[in-house]
Every structure is written in C-alpha cells, then in structure tokens.
A and B are shown apart, each in its own frame.
Chain A
Amino acid sequence: MSRIYDVAVIGAGVVGMSILRELTRYRLKVCCLERMEDVAEGASKANSGIVHAGYDPIEGTKKARFNVEGNNIFADVCNELDVEYKMIGSLVVAFDDHEINVLEELLQRGKRNGVKGLEIKGQEWVFANEPNLSRNIKAALFAPYSGITNPYKLTIALFENAIQNGADVIFDFEVCKIEKDGNYFVVHSADGRFVKSRLLINCAGVHADEISKMAGSKLFKIYPRRGQYYILDKPEKMPVARVIFQVPTEKGKGILVTPTVDGNVLVGPNSEYIDSKDDTATTQEGLDEVFEKARRVMPSLSKRDVITIFSGIRATPDTHDFIIEEDENIKNFINVAGIESPGLTSSVAIGRYIAELVSDKLNAKINLNFNPYREDIKRFSELSDGEREKMIKLYPSFGNIVCRCELVSEYEIVEAIRRGARTIDSVKRRTRAGMGRCQGGFCLPRVMDILSRELKIDKTHITKFGKNSYILTEKRWED
C-alpha cells in the first residue's frame, strides 16, 4: 500500500467516514487513520441515533446550518447506503407554563432555522397519539421531520461505500506526531508507521483538540461530556411511537425515550462533564438519574425490561459551535471538531461541504466511476420464509442460526467478516449477533468459532474490540 495520499482523514467516526465517502466522488487518493480496530468505536457507536429536525441550535450557527441541511438529505443518503432511517417524528413535552414558553421559543427558532412542519400540540392530542406518556404533560412541540437511524450502521455503510470507491482505512493507527515535509503532512502512529498527505482533516472526535495541537493549529478545547443509556428488550408493542424529548436545558436536549430502528426502546442520556476522554463507564448515580427522569415522562417504564446499559461521550467544544474550518495559518489543515449533537444528523451534510471545499482547493476532477450505492448484508430476520428458502438454497449457512435472540445466521457473520469485521464487537455491530436479550450468552462462543475459522487465527487472538480486549487467555488442550 502506498503511503502517500492527497487527503488523510483522522478518525473513523460517522463524520470522518462521511467526509471520506464524499471525497471518493473526486479523483483523489484518500485515506482515513483510525486508532481502533474498527470504525464507529467512539461517539458514533454510543449516541441516541436521532435525526434531529433542527429547532434546537441557535440560528446562524454551524450547528443550525448543518443540522437542517443534514436532515434534508438524510433519507437520500440512507437510501443509497441501504441504512434504516425512519422519520417517526418527535415530541418535546412540557409539564408547566414555563416549559410551554420554552416550546414556543423552540418553535420560533425552528422556523428561523428553516424547519418545516413544527406545531405545538395540546394535551388531548398528546394522549391520543402517545397514550403511555404521563398525564402531567401539558403540551408538546411536534416535529414531524425528526427521525431515527442506527448511528454505527450508518458509519459502517459509509465506510464500506468509501472502500468500494477506492478509499483506504488504516486501523490501529494511533496518531502521535504530525510533521510537515514540504507540501506534505507526515502523520506518525505510535507503532512507527507513517502516512504522507497533501491535506489533512481532523475528525478525531473527543481527541480532536490534541490532534489540532499536534499539527500546530489553533488551540481550542474539547470537553468530554458523558451520557448514560438503557436499552430495553424488544417489546411486543412499542410504548412510544415518536422520539420523546423533555424540554432542553443548558446541559443539552435531556433524557429521551425512543424506539430504535431495530425495535428496542432506548432511554437516556444524562449529561456530565468528566475528566477522562475515554471514561465510558456507567455509574449508579447517572443511571438512577436517567431512569428517574425518564419515568417522569413515561411512568410505565420498568427496569425488568433492561437488557443492557452503556454510555457515550460527546465532544463538547469550548467554542459553543461546531468547528469546521481550515486553519488560517496552516494551509490544508482542516479541523472538523466539536461535533456533538446534532452531529449524527449533520454528518452527511458536513461530508458534502468538506468534500466540495477540498476538491476546490486541490483542483480535483470528478470521479466518474463513483458508485453511491452500497448494499447491506442480507438479514435472515428481515426476509419472508420464501426468501429465506431461496437464500438457503444459494448459501446453506443462511440456514444456520448463530444468534438465537436476534435470528442471525452464519452467512451474515461470514459476510460481516468478509466486509472487514475482525472483533466480536465489530461482528455485533454489523449483524446484531449478541445484541439481543441474552447479550451473547449463547452466541459468543459460536461467533468466535466463525471468526477463528474465517480469519485463520486461534481463538486466544480474538478480541472484543481490539488492543488488549482478549476474551480467552490460554489454550489448555487440543481437540
């Protein structure tokens, strides 16, 4: 692999991958450098998965612009990439007059941002449409163009499509030094590898300020802000039809209750500034806070239905807005930093904006071979019995169910590995094997068998998510 590129992107989150994919529309040699073993290992795997309408950000900000633009093109991008996106609408619920005033402010702000369809609905409408919500709710702001998606599946789809179109993604590449060599940036990884690139884009998420500093660029600060979540088992009947927000505070959009595109219920997040940028621990206090506040909105919420808990870290910038700009002193170094909420919604629009900016700067020609379409893995759980039968005829492994909670077949796991999954978590995010109610209790050893066979490695070398996350420590006997 040649190590000289036109553009290198640091960070394989949803923003980095969106930029990478958009760059492949041009005849450019592009790569992404990622410190972990897979894409979406940071904030992109642990957020609410909401496609926001755009009434939250203050007008005139980059957040407002990219949110609304992102929302407008989200469906098209998901359609091209075969990623689930459901425009289910959202409600911001208000419990008193003060909160109703906030709804009014949000409505006006949304209108100024160009958000369509916003309406304040009364109690009666709310209970008729969301019968499981608290009777103490007085009114709600309805945003019909809000939606839900799966954030890591979008990131994976962008990654696969970028690869299809000729991009490179270099994993396990932890950037430790950035030098200038003539017209090139030389980006070094901790293990001695390096990459040269004419243009460098910093999408390092919560670590973006460190990367910026390494490049000698403007000093800004990213504060890690953690949010904790519950995932509930797939209910027989979804308790809410829309994304249910509470009135936002200065700490963010607050705790929500929403269906996920996969059919679970998601509850969270709270918001707390933390010291370490990689501290994705959940805490008793945080979890208690989330549950208490969520029950205020939906009193029937039960801990019995919880199948897992997790936390995600938002990259909150000290500038109070997305940082999306070329450094005025360092030519060809572009910071795309501080992309906290609504970052997922904005990611696809940011990708387009940056790709246009870069192609102008580098005078890049259009890549006529660019193929915007990517097909998802065929999923046993989503097919009819007739289609299943046809698939099993073609691929017998489609009839071998590995994950019984989520009905994931061996075929899907092999296909995920073929597309780049190397770890238990990367198989999980691509196939849902291990994401069900038994959380891999049954399928973990079976997924390991398949990884070991397909990658031709011993099971002691299989990790949960790279680095030292080994599952097994020693082989005791041969079969």
Chain B
Amino acid sequence: MEKYKVVVIGSGPAGLAAALESFKNLDDKKVLIIERDKFLGGILNQCIHPGFGLHYFKEELTGPEYAHRFIEQVIESQIEYLTETHVIDITPEKEIVAVNKKGLKRIKADSIVLAMGCRERTRGAIITPGTRPAGIFTAGQAQRFINIEGYRIGKKAIIVGSGDIGLIMARRLTLEGIEVKAVVEIMPYSTGLRRNIVQCLDDFGIPLLLSHKLVKIHGRYRVEGVTIAKVDFKLKEIPSTERFIECDTVLFSVGLIPENELSKKAGIVLDMRTGGPVVDNTFSTSQKGIFACGNVLHVHDLVDNVTLEAQTAGRYAAMYSQYPELFENNIYINIVAKEGIKYVVPQKLNKTFVQPFVLRFRVDNFYKDAVVTISNAGKVLIKIKKSILTPGEMESIEISQKILSQLDFSNDIVVSLQNI
C-alpha cells in the first residue's frame, strides 16, 4: 500500500490550496492530490467569467486564471497528483480506495483533507411539476456545454434562481445568442451580489421576477414553455397570477449541496444545517486526522474565502501527520448559532489550538439594520452593526487573540443577531 503524509481529495480551489499549504508545512513532503476529472482546477475551469481573486490577489481574474495560479505552484513544487481517478472509499483508519483505468489503488494517509466540493440541486429536488422533456439543465451543465465544449443549448431560456450563478448564466446565455426571457426568483429578494444584478441583468434588459415561482414545465420532447406564478410571503402560489412563457430551455440554479457521500463512509458527523462535516477551528472533522474545507464543508460565495479556509485546513492536516499526539484527548467549546443565524463554521473551538481564527456564518433571513453579537458566559465579546444581511451572503468575523483571552472556557460561544 502506498503511503502519504497528506492526501487531498479534490483539486478545486480548496484542494489546491490545502495541498500547497500542507506541502509547505511538511518535512517529509509526501502529499498527493486525487482528482476525478481530467484536469486540476475543479469547477473553476468552466467559470470563465471574471470576478475571482479580488480579495486574495487584489485583482480580477477568471475562474481558470485563478485556478491556474495554484496549479502552477502545485506543478512547480512537484506535488504528486492523480487525475481521472475516483475515490470510492475512505475508512476511519484513513485508508483510501481509489480507482482509475490502471486499476484499484489502496493508499494509506496520515491525514486526509476532504475537498470534494458540492453538487447542484436539481429540478427534481425542488419538486417542479410538469413534463420531463429535453432542454432542462442545471447551471453547471449549461456552463460546461457552453464554455468548455462550445455548444449552444437552446434559443429561448428561463432561468430559475437569482443567486450569483443564475445571474452570471443569464449574461452568459445572452452573450451566446440565447434569449433569456426572465430570471425567476421565489424569494422577494435576490441572493446574488448587487453588482451582478446590474452587470448581468440590467445591462442586458433581462427581467428579474422576484416573488415568482416556476409552477409547471411544458413540452413533450423538448421544452415548449413554462408557467410561472406570483407567490405570497409564505411562498405559496397566488391563484390566477399564472402566466405562460414560451421557451425551449429551462436552467435551474437553485442551490448547492456539499457532496459528503465519502465523508459518510468514513463515519464523519455531519451538520444538518451546512450539509457538511462538523469541524473545529483546525478544520478537523469528527474523525481524527480527517479535515474538510471548501464547498464540501459549507457552500461559499467567494472563492477567495475558500482558499483562505483551505490553507488553514492544509496547515493543520500537515501538523496532524507529523504530530498526531497534539490532537489526542482534545477538549472543545461549542460555537452555537442562535437567533437569526442559520449556521456557523467552525462549530467547535479546540482548546489545544486557541489561536485566532475566522468565524464564518450565514443569517437565516433578510435583515436590515441588525447587530451580530458573539457572546460567551453571558458576556458580549463582539458586537457588529450591519445595515443589510442576507442569507445569500456569507459573513465572517475574526476571532482575535484578544477575544480568545477573554473566553470562559466552560461555556459555549454564542453567535446571534438582534434587530436594532
């Protein structure tokens, strides 16, 4: 069986950054990346629009450019990697079974970084009635067909979901000569960035229909149209507001789900709210020596944050592979999401590693003029005023050494939100 200090599963932005950071921190530089696709870079390869790297590189890059910077470093450092290789099993003992055209590989890792990313929610997952003709795509499928393979996927399209991916695809389809009839959003607000609404919809005259739902897909062989309707504040369809829109393509961009089937096989405890593993501030999962970062942990909106998070995970994975004893008998403080907060990551603070870290979270609704507080033992440690908070935007708060020094370690850390 082949042995590695750190094995990283997945070579998207999380996997690449974790592998590089592990590599830097190891004496015995045995790091392996396993990627199921033909190329390193993950889904960034098909995100040819700009807007990546503004925070990390202070410049605007496309997805492939952003990935390329890390891929170059991986190749320069001579980190080993396998492409077109599929991990089919991970055991709690950190044995990995992977398969490719050459055969079945068994690999023993001192530590593992999970960076498998996420998958898209589908038309079926959101239970959309109607027929099942051709012409129904997820945003990711459309992106691959259009950006990588050079095909047109239809003539007239409806986009369901107005998060950043939906908005960006509205512009992309338009540039490819596909008429986007509307972007349909069930919520009364878009979860996409303001600049994307302006640059991707307004600039092209594409209507954004808020508080609208796709209620039916029509067409026997290829999509022939959709029926949409207005919804009330309970997201229930308002009778007699139905409207038929003729189109031959429906593109669903209705959310992402962390892909944790392998994590389950390894016996890792998952957080129902994030869909990813429960981790501490070292990004260690409930299985010792298995770390997680990127969209497999929780769905991010900025790749820059994925990179930062993955670097931390990679660093601790390297530490675990060299000094596993540091991770024995650890004691944790829970970090708890209360009123208004949908989830927090990490969910625990490891008392052995009381070092500054970034707390990331999402709110559970749209809020105007609110205060986010972080408290401990009834004492407010951090209080941050926010004029707008939306579930679509991930928030981060730095937990500094100063804050950590004030902690009462026998009590939970509580994150909550109050209206002003």
A399 touches B104 (CB 8 A): yes
A467 touches B221 (CB 8 A): yes
Q: B134-145 vs A: 1/0 string, CB under 8 Å? A: 110010110011
Inter-subunit contact B120/A441 (CB<8 Å): yes
Between A303, A308, A471, the greatest number of chain B beta carbons within 10 A of the residue's beta carbon is seen for A471
Chain A residues near B215: list those with CB within 8 A: 284
The reply on B195 being an interface residue by CB < 8 A is no
Chain B residues within 8 Å of chain A by Cβ, number: 51
B25 CB, min distance to chain A CBs, angstroms: 31
Contact A385 to B119, CB < 8 A, known contacts A468-B221, A470-B134: no
In the assembled complex, the Cα of A476 lies from the Cα of B145 at a distance in Å of 10
Q: Is A464 an interface residue (CB 8 A)?
A: yes
Mark interface residues in B218-248 (1 if CB within 8 Å of A CB, else 0). Answer: 1011100000000000000100000000001
Q: What chain A residues lie within 8 Å of B97 (beta carbons)?
A: 385
Q: Does A445 contact B (CB under 8 A)?
A: yes
Q: Tell me if A476 and B151 are in contact (CB < 8 A).
A: yes
Please determine whether B119 and A437 come into contact, CB atoms closer than 8 angstroms.
yes
A86 contacts B by Cβ under 8 Å: no
Residues in B whose Cβ lies below 8 Å from that of A306:
124-125, 127
Q: Smallest CB–CB gap between B394 and chain A, Å?
A: 22
Contact B153 A397 (CB under 8 A): no
Q: Does chain A have a CB within 8 A of B68?
A: no
CB distance from A320 to the nearest CB of B (A): 30
Complex contact B133–A464 (CB within 8 A): yes
Size class of the contact patch on chain A: 35 or more
B99 contacts A401, C-beta separation under 8 Å = yes
Contact across chains for A401 and B151 when beta carbons are under 8 A apart = no
With A281-B130, A388-B104, A468-B221 known as contacts, the answer to whether A473 contacts B155 (CB < 8 A) is yes
**Residues of A377-409 contacting chain B, CB below 8 A:** 385, 388-389, 392-393, 396-397, 399-401, 404-405, 407
Find the B residue at minimum CB distance from A468: B221
Cβ contacts under 8 Å, A324 to chain B: none
Chain B contacts with A in 202-218, Cβ cutoff 8 A: 215-218
Q: Which residues of B contact A405 (CB under 8 A)?
A: 261
Choose among B131, B151, B220 the residue with the greatest number of A CB atoms under 10 Å from its CB.
Answer: B151
CA distance A393 to B125 in the complex (A): 38
Q: A287: which B residues are within 8 A, CB to CB?
A: 127, 129
A410 closest partner in B (C-beta): B101
Instruction: Check if B151 sits within 8 Å of A459, measured CB to CB.
Output: yes
Chain B CB within 8 A of A438 CB: yes
- In the complex, the chain A residue whose C-beta lies closest to that of B222 is A468
Q: Any chain B CB within 8 A of the CB of A264?
A: no
Q: Would you give the shortest CB distance from A35 to chain B, in whole angstroms?
A: 13
Contact B222–A236 (Cβ < 8 Å): no
A278 within 8 A of B: yes
Q: Does B102 contact A (CB under 8 A)?
A: yes
1/0 per residue, CB under 8 A from B, across A448-476: the answer is 00000000000110011111111111111
Chain A residues in 8 Å Cβ range of B104: 385, 388-389, 392, 399
The verdict on A477 contacting B150 (CB below 8 Å), with A307-B124, A309-B129, A396-B101 known, is yes
Min CB distance A406 to B, Å, is: 11
Question: With A and B bound together, what is the CA distance between A399 and B36 in angstroms?
Answer: 11
- A282-B129, A392-B104, A469-B221 are contacts. A404–B153 as well, Cβ < 8 Å? no
Residue ID in chain B nearest A307 by CB atoms: B124
Least Cβ–Cβ distance between A283 and chain B, in angstroms: 5
Measured between C-beta atoms, what is the minimum distance from B242 to chain A in Å?
A: 11
| A307 close to B102 (CB less than 8 A) | no
A124 to chain B, nearest CB (A): 33
| A479 interfacial contact with B, CB 8 Å | yes
Task: Report if B300 contacts A (CB, 8 A).
Answer: no
**B403 at the A/B interface (Cβ < 8 Å)?**
no
Q: By CB atoms of chain A within 10 A, which of B97, B127, B134 has the most?
A: B134
* A307 and B122 contact, CB distance less than 8 A: yes
B77 at the interface (CB under 8 A from A): no
Is A444 part of the binding interface, using a Cβ–Cβ cutoff of 8 Å? yes
Residues of B close to A407: CB separation below 8 A: 88
* Residues A404 and B103 in contact in the complex (CB < 8 Å), given A441-B122, A445-B145: no
Once the chains are docked, how many angstroms separate the CA of A57 from the CA of B215? 38
**A445 and B88 in contact, given A287-B127, A393-B103 (Cβ under 8 angstroms):** no
Q: Mark B149-160, 1 if CB is under 8 A from A, else 0.
A: 111111100000
Residues of chain B lying within 8 A (CB to CB) of residue A123: none
Contacts of A95 in B (CB 8 A): none
Q: 0/1 per residue, A266-294, Cβ < 8 Å to B?
A: 00000000000011111110110000000
Minimum distance in angstroms from B127 CB to a CB of chain A: 6
Known: A399-B101, A404-B36, A460-B151. A438 touches B122 (CB 8 A): yes
Please report the C-alpha to C-alpha distance between residue A438 and residue B121 in the assembled complex, in whole angstroms: 7
A445 engages B103 (CB within 8 Å): no
Report Cα–Cα, A466/B134, bound state, in Å.
10
Q: Which of A410-463 contact B (CB under 8 A)?
A: 437-442, 444-445, 459-460, 463
A478: B residues at CB distance < 8 A: 150
Chain A residues near B99 (CB-CB < 8 A): 388, 392, 399, 401
User: Which one, A385, A439, A473, contacts B124 given CB within 8 A?
Assistant: A439
Distance in Å: Cβ of A434 to nearest Cβ of chain B:
11
B134's contact among A283, A463, A475, by CB below 8 Å, is which?
A463
A441 touches B140 (CB 8 A): yes
A184 at the interface (CB under 8 A from B): no
Is A370 at the interface (CB under 8 A from chain B)?
no
In the bound complex, residues from chain A placing their C-beta under 8 Å from that of B135 are 471
Q: Which residue of A lies closest to B144 (CB)?
A: A445
Most chain-B Cβ atoms within 10 A of its Cβ — which of A308, A399, A400?
A399
Cα–Cα, bound, A287→B127 (Å) = 9
At the interface, yes or no: B176 with Cβ under 8 Å from chain A? Answer: yes
Q: Are A309 and B124 neighbours in the complex by a CB distance under 8 Å?
A: yes
Q: How far is the CB of B37 from chain A (nearest CB, A)?
A: 9
Decide if A310 is an interface residue (CB 8 Å cutoff): yes
Within 8 A of B (CB), among A300-323: 303, 306-310
Verify if B86 is at the interface (C-beta below 8 Å from A). Answer: yes
Complex contacts, B222 vs chain A, CB 8 Å: 468-470
Within 8 A of B (CB), among A233-257: 236
**Does the CB pair A469–B119 fall under 8 Å?**
no
Q: Which positions 207-264 of chain A face chain B at CB distance < 8 Å?
A: 230-231, 236
B3: chain A residues within 8 A (beta carbon): none
- B264 CB within 8 Å of chain A: yes
Asked if B100 is at the interface (CB within 8 A of a chain A CB), the reply is yes
**With A388-B99, A439-B124 in contact, do A476 and B150 touch (Cβ < 8 Å)?**
yes
Chain A residue with the shortest CB-CB distance to B178: A473
Q: Which B residue sits closest to A276, measured CB to CB?
A: B220
Contacts A401-B36, A441-B138, A476-B176: A303 and B127 contacting too (C-beta < 8 A)?
yes
Q: Is B132 an interface residue (CB 8 A)?
A: yes
**A399-B103 contact, Cβ under 8 Å, with A404-B36, A441-B141:** yes
Q: What's the Cα separation between A279 and B130 when bound, in Å?
A: 9
Partner of A445, one of B122, B133, B149: B149
Known: A281-B216, A442-B119, A468-B222. 19 other contacts (CB 8 A): A281-B131, A284-B237, A287-B129, A306-B127, A309-B128, A392-B101, A400-B101, A405-B261, A438-B122, A439-B124, A440-B141, A445-B149, A460-B151, A469-B133, A469-B222, A471-B135, A472-B153, A473-B153, A473-B154
- Pairs A–B under 8 Å by Cβ, sample size 12: A281-B130, A306-B125, A309-B124, A385-B104, A388-B104, A404-B86, A437-B119, A438-B119, A438-B120, A440-B141, A471-B135, A477-B150
Return the 8 tightest CB-CB contacts between A and B, nearest first.
Answer: A308-B124, A464-B134, A469-B134, A396-B101, A401-B86, A474-B152, A468-B221, A469-B221
A residues lining the B interface (CB < 8 Å): 230-231, 236, 278-284, 286-287, 303, 306-310, 385, 388-389, 392-393, 396-397, 399-401, 404-405, 407, 437-442, 444-445, 459-460, 463-479
List chain B positions with a Cβ less than 8 A from chain A: 36, 84, 86, 88, 97, 99-104, 119-120, 122-125, 127-135, 138, 140-141, 144-146, 149-155, 176, 215-218, 220-222, 237, 248, 261, 264
